[in-house]
Structure 1
Amino acid sequence: MSTATPELTGNRLLRFWPAAAGTAFGALVAYDLAVGADLAPVLTASGLVYLGAAALRRPRAAWPVFWLTFVVIGAAGFTPWEDADTWVLLGVAAAFAVYGLVRGVTRPFEEFPLQSLAMVVFGGAAVAVLVIGGDVAAYIVAAGLLGHAAWDVWHRHNGRVVVRSMTEFCMFLDTIAAVAMIVVTVNG
């Protein structure tokens, strides 16, 4: 018989909500998966969330920036422009970069400067995916998402830039989406 109170048990379960939500989002992305270029906006968004929080110097801003990327990706499906979501997210990233530079958010290096560099890498990979297409693009996206999952682990340990719940959510989302991309490509 457990001696834990219901509140304590509930708090323990609540502690795992980011992993559960990331798993659910990852499964949703995996279910809707078709080709490598489909996840280019997810790769772009992964860098943008961290850049936005760093530019704003508010770790909790990661969640509103995430929801912004979610809305952009969802809304792009209703436009006639192919890959509009990736380009819009890159534009938002550029706006955050300019905002961070204007505010003079250049120290410490682990925050805005490093997040800017990461955005260039993840955004550049997303653009490469749009240009290359096919199986190679799928593997680039998978590698980028696995790289971002490692980024999440480092930030979870570091405790800077974004809130811990975001790092935990992204670890699961990125890993599940990357593995699904590899499985779909290998079996496709």
Structure 2
Amino acid sequence: MLRFWPVAAGIAFGAFVAYDLAAGADLAPVLTASGLVYLGAAALQRPRAAWPVFWLSFVVIGAAGFTPWEDAATWVLLGIAAAFALYGLVRGAVRPAEVLPLQSLAMVLFGGAAVAVMVIGGDTAAYLVAAGLLGHAAWDAWHHRTGRVVVRSMAEFCLFLDVIAAAAMIAVTVNG
């Protein structure tokens, strides 16, 4: 039973995100954080670093709720991602190519989608977040299968979190 803790935690966090979403929360920061976790682990060259980076993003998203700026979490997470990318580059973490270079490209895509969501707004933005999260779920599955960049527990956890958050986003938007 202990073997399935990442799945149970992913489902629990997914339910938490779905609940927040029903209350009107924005998922652009979650989309940004999904790329940040992998980029952080790649830049630090430590798969286990994915968990502390996840908790860092969780704290940033939570703390941003206490600021008057609507998109503060997304911008702070993007700044942290840039710092991680620079740190990894300075450390020489550019080999192998599927580590820092590929994770940086993914961060650009997920972060770019989050910025587009902030600009677009409305139902189109909601569907873009859902598509981004489902794309990240596929990313999680690939990383889980290959065992690269992040520990498998993070990939499992994130897979379930992403799918549940995407389904909730679609459900809230369709029924909204």
TM-score with structure 2 length normalisation? 0.98
Q: CA deviation at 1:80?
A: 1.0
Ranges in structure 2 where 5+ consecutive residues have no aligned partner: none
| 1:181 counterpart = 2:169 | yes
1:35 Cα deviation after fit: 8.7
Provide the C-alpha distance between the structure 1 equivalents of 2:24 and 2:129, rounded to a whole number of angstroms.
6
Q: Kindly state the Cα deviation for residue 36 of structure 1 after the two structures are TM-superposed.
A: 8.7
CA distance in 2, matches of 1:143, 1:164: 23
- Residues 123-172 of structure 1: CA distance to partner in whole angstroms, max 9, x if unpaired? 00000000000000000000000000000000000101000000000000
Gaps of 5+ in 1: 1-12
SS at structure 2 position matched to 1:97: helix
Shift of residue 25, structure 1, vs aligned partner = 0.3
Alignment RMSD: 1.2
The equivalent residue for 1:50 is 38
The TM-score normalised by the length of structure 1 is 0.92
Q: Does 1:87 align with 2:87?
A: no
Measure how far apart 1:18 and its partner are: 0.1
What CA distance in whole angstroms lies between the structure 2 residues aligned with 1:81 and 1:116? 26
Separation of aligned partners in 2, 1:148 and 1:135 = 20
Instruction: State whether residues 37 and 137 of structure 1, in contact with CA within 8 Å, keep that contact through their aligned partners in structure 2.
Output: no
Q: Which amino acid aligns with 2:73?
A: D
Question: 1:122 & 1:34 partners in 2: Cα distance?
Answer: 23
Shift of 1:82: 1.2
Equivalent pairs counted in the alignment come to: 176
Q: CA deviation at 1:24?
A: 0.2
Matches within 5 A, 1:154-169: 154-169=142-157
Q: Which amino acid aligns with 2:82?
A: A
